[in-house]
Amino acid sequence: MRGVLIAVWILVPVLASAYHYGPGQQKLQLDEVQGLLSAARKYVKEEQHAKAVELFTEGLGKMPAEREAESRRVRVERAKSLLLAQQLPKAYDDLALLVPELQNDPKADSAVLADARDTLANAKYYMTWLMRLEGDPRTEWEPEIEGARQTYRLLAEQAQARGDTKAVKKHEEDLEAAIRLARLDLSELQALPLPSQCKGCCSGQCNCKGGKGKAKSKSAGKTPQKKQGDEQARGASSGPPPDDGGS
């Protein structure tokens, strides 16, 4: 009996050490990641999107490789914050990689895929707006808005199939906005308030697809004739605003 007790006494620190340097370390790592993500989401609610991007990025960098599904959800969250932090090209590039990755994985979460598709369509919408203001030819910007249009239509059909009337309404409004953006004359577009998602590029703070970084809205200090809604209030996650003035 005494020998058993001695053996147990010897094994306790060994087992504790094994836990500390094995599962214990992973738990500490996950706790740190969750702390970073919680702080990032708090910044999102406070509309401090640049800080949210930093913490989402740090959290992703420390996320264990086997937690792929959670990483993908966070990548979508970060992309939304990137749009609202006026980092449109970065959001676009990240989503352009993530969406095919999700599409090609039969085990991918369908809700995450739909959210990623929606956010990429929004990025394409704002990229089209920017490219048009920068004077890019139709052959360059039309594929972007057409991609957004097709995605909004797909999302509306999927929402209809599952009976989500609220989502159907949102995606149909986004589809209508995409169609209008493609049809607007450049002079009409220039008369509209510049979406906040495009302002970083138009001030030269980022490298957009057009590469000019000089586009400016002609509507500064003016009231637009066609109500587009408050871009900043709606945010990237709600998609492009509907035009209350009709097509």
Q: Is 38 exposed, middle or buried (0-12, 13-18, 19+ CB in 10 A)?
A: exposed
pLDDT digits (tens, 9 = 90+) for 183-205: 999 999 999 988 888 877 765 55
pTM: 0.76
Query: Going from the N-terminus, what domains does the chain have, and what CATH number goes with each?
Result: 21-206 (1.25.40.10)
Cα–Cα distance between 139 and 151 in angstroms, integer? Answer: 19
Give yes or no for residue 13 having a pLDDT over 80.
Answer: no
Sign of torsion over alpha carbons 205, 56, 121, 172: negative
* pLDDT for residue 10: 56
Give yes or no for residue 216 having a pLDDT over 70.
Answer: no
One-letter identity of residue 17: S
* pLDDT for residue 209: 56
pLDDT digits (tens, 9 = 90+) for 107-122: 999 999 999 999 999 9
* pLDDT for residue 236: 41
Q: Are 236 and 83 in contact, with CB atoms under 8 Å apart? A: yes
